[in-house]
């Protein structure tokens, strides 16, 4: 049971591995049991005072510190032991400490994901398991994506496919890797001409699709009441233009980044089904993104919707 509780580590991935703009695909390596429901409420505080204009890391005193706060309610449900669905709907606010441009706030993108666990090999020394996640997200408010760096998100539909493999040693130490393809459609600007390495005569902007790769090492302490994990994540756009000198970014930009992160999850023995998650993420390199530092925290609670049928 407790093993399954930490299924919700993926929530922390949403906090930690996102591209700063929108929620990311579930990328953990665990499944809910049939009829098991987990609800979670997470908070993410993302700040940067430098960003990459193309490949040039710079400050901009007319932005000062850009703060992006996200409140993220989520749920996951086990349809079967091997097939889960996950849904999330972030609320985002943005604000700059400098300059005279007003920030934005509102609901961002609703995401729904299906997760499937096709194969697992169990041995006495440990286990190897594989997972596939497919997801879809779309904007649920009329936020303007072409309002960088304040925009709530990229304003695009996103289809994602992620493959995950995980090896867990019997000691509880595990290694997990995953690779995702994020297909993004287009977003609508509120102008019918824009420049992105040349002219575009349309309100439609192509939002570059991207890959996302992750490697994580984790383990358990104190009779599996405390989980620690460290990870490295890269996100790379397949196309896109650079932010030009002293220009604002736009959704057509090639947004790349590499992040390191650390996470902690604690299961208080007095509150069955409850856990507290805390995370820290640092963007270590990037292109056309903020050099963010992200702290996050939240609560998860999980329980069975129906009692398991008793075995005859």
Cis peptide before 234 (omega within 30 of 0): no
Nearer of residues 99 and 268 to another protein, judged by Cβ? 99
User: What does the buried/exposed string (b/e) look like for 49-63 if buried means 16 or more CB atoms within 10 Å of the residue's CB?
Assistant: bbbbbeeeeeebeeb
Element holding 9 (H helix, E strand): helix 9-16
Nearer of residues 162 and 263 to another protein, judged by Cβ? 162
Element holding 10 (H helix, E strand): helix 9-16
Nearer of residues 171 and 247 to another protein, judged by Cβ? 247
Q: How far is the CB of 185 from another protein (least distance, A)?
A: 6
Nearer of residues 73 and 163 to another protein, judged by Cβ? 163
Taking alpha carbons only, the member of 114, 112, 37, 111 closest to residue 83 is 114
Q: How far is the CB of 267 from another protein (least distance, A)?
A: 30
Nearer of residues 224 and 244 to another protein, judged by Cβ? 244
Residues 13 and 49: their CA atoms lie apart, in Å, by 23
Taking alpha carbons only, the member of 248, 249, 259 closest to residue 216 is 259
Q: How far is the CB of 123 from another protein (least distance, A)?
A: 22
Nearer of residues 250 and 292 to another protein, judged by Cβ? 250
Q: How far is the CB of 167 from another protein (least distance, A)?
A: 22
Nearer of residues 126 and 134 to another protein, judged by Cβ? 134
Residues 149 and 289: their CA atoms lie apart, in Å, by 9
Q: How far is the CB of 192 from another protein (least distance, A)?
A: 8
Q: How far is the CB of 238 from another protein (least distance, A)?
A: 12
Q: Is the dihedral of CA 229, 230, 236, 241 positive or negative?
A: positive
Residues 121 and 210: their CA atoms lie apart, in Å, by 31
DSSP state of 8: G
Tokens of 40: 């979670």
Nearer of residues 44 and 235 to another protein, judged by Cβ? 235
Contacts with another protein, residue ranges (CB under 8 A): 58, 61-62, 79-80, 82-83, 98-102, 114, 116, 118, 132, 134, 136, 142, 144, 146-147, 159, 161, 183, 185-186, 189-195, 198-202, 204, 206, 244-248
Residues 6+ apart with CB under 8 A from 301: 38, 39, 40, 273, 274, 275
Q: How far is the CB of 115 from another protein (least distance, A)?
A: 9
Q: How far is the CB of 35 from another protein (least distance, A)?
A: 14
What 169-173 contacts at long range (C-beta under 8 Å, 24+ apart), as own/partner pairs, is 169/125, 169/126, 170/124, 170/125, 170/126, 171/219, 172/219, 172/220, 172/224, 173/217, 173/218, 173/219
């Amino acid at each position: 049971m407790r093993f399954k509780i930490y299924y919700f580590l993926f929530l922390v991935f949403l906090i930690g591995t996102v591209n700063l703009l929108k929620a990311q695909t579930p990328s953990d390596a665990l499944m809910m049991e049939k009829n098991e429901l987990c609800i979670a409420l997470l908070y993410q505080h993302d700040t940067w005072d430098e960003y990459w204009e193309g490949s040039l890391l710079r400050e901009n005193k007319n932005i000062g510190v850009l703060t992006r706060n996200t409140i993220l309610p989520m749920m996951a449900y086990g349809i079967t032991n091997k097939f889960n669905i996950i849904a999330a709907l972030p609320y985002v606010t943005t604000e700059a400490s400098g300059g005279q441009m007003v920030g934005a706030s509102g609901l961002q993108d609703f995401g729904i994901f299906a997760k499937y666990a096709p194969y697992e090999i169990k041995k006495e020394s440990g286990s190897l398991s594989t997972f596939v996640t497919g997801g879809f997200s779309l904007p649920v408010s009329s936020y303007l994506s072409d309002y960088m760096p304040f925009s709530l998100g990229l304003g695009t539909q996103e289809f994602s496919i992620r493959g995950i493999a995980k090896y867990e040693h019997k000691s509880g130490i595990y290694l997990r890797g995953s690779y995702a393809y994020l297909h993004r459609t287009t977003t609508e600007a509120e102008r019918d001409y824009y420049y992105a390495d040349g002219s575009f005569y349309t309100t439609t902007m192509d939002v570059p699709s991207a890959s996302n790769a992750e490697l994580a090492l984790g383990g358990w302490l104190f009779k599996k009441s405390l989980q620690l994990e460290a990870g490295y994540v890269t996100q790379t756009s397949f196309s896109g233009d650079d932010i030009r000198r002293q220009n604002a970014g736009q959704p057509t930009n090639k947004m790349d980044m590499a992040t390191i992160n650390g996470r902690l999850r604690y299961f208080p023995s007095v509150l069955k089904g409850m856990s507290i998650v805390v995370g820290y993420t640092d963007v270590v390199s990037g292109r056309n993104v903020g050099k963010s530092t992200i702290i996050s925290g939240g609560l998860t609670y999980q329980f069975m919707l129906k009692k398991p049928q008793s075995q005859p």
